[in-house]
Amino acid sequence: MSRTPRPPGRPVLLAVAHGSRDPRHAATVHALLRRVRALRPGLRVEACFLDFDAPSVPRALERLDAEGVREVVALPLLLTRAFHAKSDIPAALGEARARLPRLTVRQSEVLGPSPLLTDALERRLYEAGLTPGDKSTTGVVLASAGSTDPEAIAVIDRVAREWRRTGWCAVRPAFASASLPRTEDAVRDLRAAGVRRVAVAPYVLAPGRLPDRIARGARESGADVLADVLGPAPELARLLLRRYEAARAAGAELTALSA
């Protein structure tokens, strides 16, 4: 009597975070992944880090391979497609593919841009004291970590323009490093333009050195509202699953085309 073949299991979701010397960073990543697991019981969700925290990308993949896992979706916990997404992560995954030939690893798209991210930004602003009725009289500084990659900078500019169209008085991009303006300069520019209430929305996933710089700039320039980092917002958890499913579907399509 022949047995019906068991369908293959779902690929492991391996979230690839930046990493930081600040312990709040890894704690926030793990809190976000706990929310993802709660949304999708039965899906194995693991974390790894590009730097500072453990496990590293190679060690995480080696462990999964040793446990018999055969498919992984590596999901960059990054808001823009800059150097880490274009170079560091593909290099680490490529090296793993060469050493672990039984393991199929696919890299998903980065998290941003997405309407779910602006929804999460608004959630944090409302938690910090604003209300939906404040939008038309509030200017927002969209404060990101910063990058030397022109594509990443262009994405932040586009997110600011599109978010402005949802009803905010103004939305200005700012950067904690590598690019200008800084958070404090964007706050002062909005004041000079006549905006009476200014809020700073950190466009970053987890606490650390650059988010602290954003917060310091907001305080020193007299911003009225400073939102928290995006962290384990429910919108981010849903976005991780959306990126995971898109990468999984793309992998299934490639397999079908090559069959």
Query: In the structure, how many helices (H) and strands (E) does the chain have?
Result: 9, 8
Same domain, yes or no: 100 and 193: no
Same structural domain, 205 and 129: yes
Residue 137 is given by DSSP the state G
pLDDT of residue 85: 85
Residue 21 located in a structural domain: yes
**Average pLDDT per block of 10 residues along the chain, 259 residues long:** 48 97 97 98 97 96 97 97 87 90 96 97 98 97 95 96 98 96 98 97 97 98 98 98 96 49
Measured CA to CA, the distance from residue 191 to residue 139 in angstroms comes to: 9
92 and 23 both lie in a single domain: yes
Beta strand spans in 82-236 (E): 104-107, 138-144, 170-175, 197-202, 225-226
Cα gap 123→130, rounded to integer Å = 9
Q: For the chain, give the number of residues.
A: 259
Q: Is the dihedral of CA 211, 213, 216, 222 positive or negative?
A: negative
Say if 90 falls within a structural domain. Answer: yes
Nearest partner of 21 among 206, 238, 216, judged by Cα: 206
Does residue 123 share a domain with residue 106?
A: no
| Whether residues 124 and 180 fall in one domain | yes
71 and 26 assigned to the same domain: yes
pLDDT score at 223: 98
Q: Are residues 87 and 125 in the same domain?
A: no
Q: Which residue has the tokens 């009725």?
A: 133
Q: Residues 181, 218: one domain? A: yes
Claim to verify: residue 144 and residue 97 sit in the same structural domain:
no
Q: Is residue 4 domain-resident?
A: no
| Omega of the bond leading into 181 within 30 degrees of 0 (cis) | yes
If one counts the domains in the chain, the total is 2
CATH number at residue 212: 3.40.50.1400
Q: Show the tokens assigned to 111.
A: 């998290």
Would the pTM of this model clear 0.75, i.e. be above it? yes
Range of the domain at 50: 12-111+233-258
Sort residue 108 into left (φ over 0), alpha (ψ -120 to 50) or beta.
beta
In a domain, 1, yes or no: no
Q: Name, in order, each residue with C-beta under 8 angstroms of 198's C-beta and a sequence gap of 6 or more.
A: 138, 139, 140, 141, 187, 190, 191, 222, 223, 224, 225
Question: For residue 7, what pLDDT is reported?
Answer: 41
For the chain, what percentages of helix, strand and coil (3-state, to nearest 5) are there? Answer: 50, 15, 35
Distance CA 40, CA 213 (A): 35
Partners of residue 72 on adjacent β-strands: 12, 105
In a domain, 132, yes or no: yes
The pLDDT assigned to 253 comes to: 52
pLDDT at 251: 79
